[in-house]
Structure 1
Amino acid sequence: MGGTEVADPAWWAEHSAYSDPREHAGLLAGLCTRPQDVQAAATGLIAHYRADAETLDPARLPTIDLRWLDRILAAGLEASPAPLPGRPHADRIAGCCRDHTLFAVGLLREHAVPARSRIGFARYFEPGFGVDHVVVERWDGQRWVRSDPELGAEFGAAPAAGDPFDPFDVPTGLDSPFPTAAELWSAHRRDGLDLTDYGVADVPQLRGRDFVRHYVFLEVAHRRRDEVLLWDVWGAALDGATAEETDATADELADLLLRADAGEPGAEEALARRYAEDPRLRPAGRVRTLSPLGREGWTDLEARTTTWDGTTRDG
């Protein structure tokens, strides 16, 4: 976990098991790292399984459950030999914001640029609604710069909801276009912020306070380079903890995240220690995977396989 050096941005320049492109490292090494170039390559490889559904070959929908970047890249190369930026829509594989961001994180890390994924809710897709979302942060030598690898400049100039913003340098904070899960949860607990309209658009059962609370745990995992799927469940979510216990743990984690984001000395180290010392927080061994395709299974993170209803598949 890195001891006293965990706040050093260089720690996020190292690949995780999820972001490592393995045999496809050369492909990423040959791509540019400007945010607009990263966005072009990410959206050339991956189509959002919901927003871009009309462009997808239905046979490719299972790629939504691929969690390791090397397998995402392998599936994309199998689908088409075309260059990633500007690839025809029909040649793309299925994914979501987590996959666009994992691609961006992997590409940047391959170029030794510190990068990490952030879990939160975008206010710019649906009027009056915070859509669950994942974006990338890159260290520019002075600060962490947040960008949305799904969006081009034209979207930021005329978002579907909210005021214009730069998708390659997204403003931060509770009142920003993209508040993090920790920011929203802390505001809910401190000031009673209503979380009813935060979650998965058009899926009523996946919204509200408990959903945002779950995303705090996801945010911590991604912060510590465990870039799991958004529909992976593990640890405290499975071990029968009471709502009060889960709330208290989310309070503690959200506070550490906010303090670390603010640059408070020792906060990043405290978050790393908390994550390392509590096995309920870490997706290790195996996780329960609740796919949006309607299937459920157990994923063995060491073997890199998922068992769906008695069938073993690569995950």
Structure 2
Amino acid sequence: MTIQECYVQQDALTDPGELADAYDDLPETVSGLCEIVSGLIIHVALAERYGIPPDFPMIRQTQPVADRLKLILASFAGPLTVARPPRSRTFGTCRDYALLLCSMLRRRSIPARVRCGFATYIGDDIYHDHWICEYWTPGDRRWLQADAQLDALQIEQMQITFDSANLPRDAFLTASQAWRMARSNAVAAGAFGHGAATGLWFLHVNVYRDLLSLTNRQMSAWDSWREAAPASKVLKADALAELDRLADVVAAFEDGAEQFAVLDEAASRNLMPPWSR
């Protein structure tokens, strides 16, 4: 099995289930799919920009795509290609946009995978906690990155000048790339995070999350990965060494030096947060 073939089959979160036919009339291009996805979800942290009042009911927890599609179609009667007013969209976080785009691409047998890491174009953080979707392009023989969260409003407000379906190489760092940069002191660890939550602890959680995502693991436990007692948030030498090793394994996999099985074995030993075992 090639690396690309590992990312064609749906996983537990990307599988559209009985609503797979809802994808039949979607645009052919990745740019077109990004535009559709960005119009189906509103990021809960940005809801007020769309005129959504703070007391409006919004579900933040990541949902399997099959459940999200049911909610999308229940919130607004019509195909996915029809524009929806803000209050008739669903709510989520950056991970949900990436999952939905990944699901659409895999439905077309386009290798796609969801990545956890840090964006350089969101908010005031230098490297902001974020999720995007990668997809394989046979012509270029490489993975491209797409951010389906970026709609016209966000593109204008963030002054985005690049194609959201083909991010520049320095726009998004995977968690392992960011970890290695911080550990080599190329970038201060405090530059990575979300608001006041920054540093190596934040980075190391994202390395685990990205590892699980890369191996198509069912990721329902993601939302508890930062729920640790203060004592568990001190990374000792052995924890640092383990994260260095995991980041190296991911880097070797991306460079083609390691097989999927090696990555899968590493993920199988880290299905739950170390502090909850």
| TM-score band w.r.t. shorter chain | 0.7 to 0.9
Instruction: Provide closer, same or farther for how the CA distance between residues 73 and 80 of structure 1 changes in structure 2, counting only shifts above 3 A.
Output: same
Q: Which residue of 2 aligns with 1:151?
A: 150
Instruction: Provide closer, same or farther for how the CA distance between residues 197 and 190 of structure 1 changes in structure 2, counting only shifts above 3 A.
Output: closer
Instruction: Provide closer, same or farther for how the CA distance between residues 91 and 154 of structure 1 changes in structure 2, counting only shifts above 3 A.
Output: closer
Structure 2 distance, partners of 1:54, 1:268, is 41
Instruction: Point out 4+ residue stretches in structure 1 off by more than 4 angstroms.
Output: 152-156, 234-238
> % of aligned pairs identical?
24
1:117-150 superposed Cα distances (whole Å, 9 cap, x missing partner): 1111111123452211111111111211111111
Offset at residue 32 of structure 1 (A): 2.4
Q: Which residue of 1 aligns with 2:204?
A: 213
- TM-score, length-normalised on structure 1? 0.75
Q: Which residue of 2 aligns with 1:69?
A: 65
- Which residue among 216, 228, 245 is the counterpart of 1:225? 216
Structure 2 distance, partners of 1:234, 1:180, is 17
Instruction: Provide closer, same or farther for how the CA distance between residues 170 and 230 of structure 1 changes in structure 2, counting only shifts above 3 A.
Output: farther
- TM-score, length-normalised on structure 2? 0.85
Structure 2 distance, partners of 1:236, 1:155, is 30
Tell me which amino acid in the other structure corresponds to 2:131.
V
Offset at residue 82 of structure 1 (A): 3.2
Structure 1 distance, partners of 2:4, 2:192, is 30
Instruction: Provide closer, same or farther for how the CA distance between residues 191 and 67 of structure 1 changes in structure 2, counting only shifts above 3 A.
Output: same
Q: Which moved further from structure 2: 91-100 or 29-38?
A: 29-38
Instruction: Give the paired residue count.
Output: 267
Tell me which amino acid in the other structure corresponds to 2:92.
G
Q: Which residue of 2 aligns with 1:16?
A: 11
Offset at residue 59 of structure 1 (A): 4.6
Matched, 1:103 2:65: no
Offset at residue 242 of structure 1 (A): 7.1
Q: Which residue of 1 aligns with 2:262?
A: 270
1:157-181 superposed Cα distances (whole Å, 9 cap, x missing partner): x7737x8433211123xxx111111
Backbone CA RMSD of aligned residues: 3.0
Structure 2 distance, partners of 1:96, 1:235, is 16
- Which residue among 158, 161, 164 is the counterpart of 1:160? 158
Residue segments in structure 2 that go unaligned for 5+ positions in a row: none
1:60-139 equivalences under 5 Å are: 60-62=57-59, 64-85=60-81, 86-127=83-124, 129-139=126-136
Q: Which residue of 1 aligns with 2:178?
A: 184
Tell me which amino acid in the other structure corresponds to 1:134.
W
- Is the Cα–Cα contact under 8 Å of residues 36 and 168 in structure 1 kept in the other structure? yes
Structure 1 distance, partners of 2:233, 2:86, is 44
- Is the Cα–Cα contact under 8 Å of residues 119 and 181 in structure 1 kept in the other structure? yes
More contact order relative to length (CA 8 Å, sep ≥ 6): 2
- Is the Cα–Cα contact under 8 Å of residues 19 and 69 in structure 2 kept in the other structure? yes
Q: Which residue of 2 aligns with 1:295?
A: none
